């Protein structure tokens, strides 16, 4: 055996960087002048299958789990604008054969973003986030959590329809990602649109609780998740699910979002259950 290969396993388990989003259509916080919004989120896809370009499902021989932790802080420059930073940690794990798991984990990169809020409908503002996130170069050749491709990203969360005395609303979330070409890697483009009807269940002085249904569709120039490029041809999939949105305190000072979604009609993409938990807190508001 060539000497360099003797350490291949150790090399395969070495930490690496970067993690494109496991989720799309995530809700955004509203800028509040002079306040900080802190957010931490966890998203995962558990034991997915891979559906090829013709929709044929390929069950993986072992259990694949992809995990992403993301933390961001934004500061409200005004009631319409906020400036923020984001950092991402990711882990991939494929387990187990002969007691061996292929895994990779590490900080994948960080970025800056700019939030803009314009008007409101049904008590929810229209929000746009524009940002840039760097990605560390991959140093794991098996299941890297980093693809090394920096990104421009756009997130938007708009209310396009309101009803029930302006309480319920239909939201539209649009996401765009673009990673310019580098080295031999072609440019990466990802776009998704998600409809999110939001229905209030509880509105009270101290807390409110909403249920949000989601139905979205994603297209991308290749099949990649959490840094690993599974296949380099065009990819697409639908995703349907629900979010439980709990707001606590005055003006939803604390917010917890629990989500569960499932992929459908995947073509050259992973297909499975996706879960997410987001905690958001405003610091300085009303204090």
* Chain contacts with another protein (rule: CB under 8 A): 1-5, 8-9, 11-12, 49-50, 52, 54, 56-62, 64, 94, 97-98, 100, 102, 141-143, 183-184, 228-232
Is it true that the peptide bond before 63 is cis, omega within 30 degrees of 0?
no
DSSP state of 8: H
CB of 190 to another protein, least distance (A): 17
CB closer to another protein, 34 vs 187: 187
Is the separation of the CB atoms in 172 and 204 below 8 Å?
A: no
Instruction: Determine if residue 254 is left, alpha or beta; phi over 0 gives left, psi from -120 to 50 gives alpha, anything else beta.
Output: beta
Q: What whole-number distance in Å separates Cα of residue 108 and Cα of residue 91?
A: 10
CB of 179 to another protein, least distance (A): 15
Nearest alpha-carbon partner for 244 in 260, 257, 253 = 257
Element spanning 16, H or E: none
If DSSP codes are grouped into helix, strand and coil, which group holds residue 20?
coil
CB closer to another protein, 214 vs 228: 228
Q: What whole-number distance in Å separates Cα of residue 212 and Cα of residue 95?
A: 33
CB closer to another protein, 50 vs 153: 50
Nearest alpha-carbon partner for 139 in 111, 107, 110 = 107
CB of 239 to another protein, least distance (A): 20
Give the strand pairing for 36-51 and 235-248.
Answer: unpaired
CB closer to another protein, 32 vs 143: 143
Q: What whole-number distance in Å separates Cα of residue 263 and Cα of residue 238?
A: 6
The residues with which 93 forms a beta bridge, in sequence order, are: 65, 103
CB closer to another protein, 61 vs 287: 61
CB closer to another protein, 229 vs 275: 229
CB of 185 to another protein, least distance (A): 8
CB closer to another protein, 60 vs 160: 60
CB of 90 to another protein, least distance (A): 15
CB closer to another protein, 62 vs 253: 62
Sign of the CA dihedral running 88, 94, 99, 100: negative
CB of 16 to another protein, least distance (A): 12
CB of 96 to another protein, least distance (A): 9
CB of 2 to another protein, least distance (A): 4
Give the list of residues 6+ apart from residue 158 with CB closer than 8 angstroms, or none: 126, 127, 171, 172, 173, 174
């Amino acid at each position: 055996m060539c000497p360099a290969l003797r350490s291949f396993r150790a090399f395969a388990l070495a930490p690496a960087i970067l993690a494109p989003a496991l989720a799309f259509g995530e809700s955004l916080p509203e800028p509040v002048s002079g306040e900080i919004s802190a957010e931490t989120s966890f998203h995962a896809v558990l034991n997915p299958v891979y559906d090829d370009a013709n929709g044929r499902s390929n069950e993986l021989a072992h259990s694949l789990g992809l995990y992403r932790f993301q933390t961001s802080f934004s500061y409200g420059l005004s009631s319409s604008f906020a400036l923020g930073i984001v950092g991402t940690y990711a882990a991939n794990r494929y387990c187990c054969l002969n007691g061996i798991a292929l895994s990779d984990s590490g900080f994948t990169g960080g970025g800056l973003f700019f939030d803009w809020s314009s008007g409101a409908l049904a008590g929810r503002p229209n929000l746009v986030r524009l940002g840039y996130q760097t990605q560390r170069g991959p140093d794991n050749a098996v299941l890297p959590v980093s693809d090394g491709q920096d990104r421009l990203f756009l997130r938007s969360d708009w209310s396009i329809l309101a009803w029930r005395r302006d309480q319920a609303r239909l939201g539209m979330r649009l996401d765009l990602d673009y990673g310019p070409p580098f080295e031999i890697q072609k440019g990466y483009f990802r776009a998704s649109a998600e409809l999110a009807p939001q229905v209030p269940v509880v509105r009270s002085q101290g807390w409110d609780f909403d249920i949000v249904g989601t139905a979205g569709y994603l297209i991308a120039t290749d099949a990649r998740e959490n840094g690993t490029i599974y296949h380099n041809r065009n990819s697409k999939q639908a995703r349907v699910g629900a979010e439980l949105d709990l707001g606590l305190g005055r003006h939803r000072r604390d917010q917890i979002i629990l989500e569960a979604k499932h992929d459908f009609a995947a073509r050259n993409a992973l297909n499975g259950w996706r879960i997410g938990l987001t905690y958001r807190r405003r610091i300085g508001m009303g204090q």
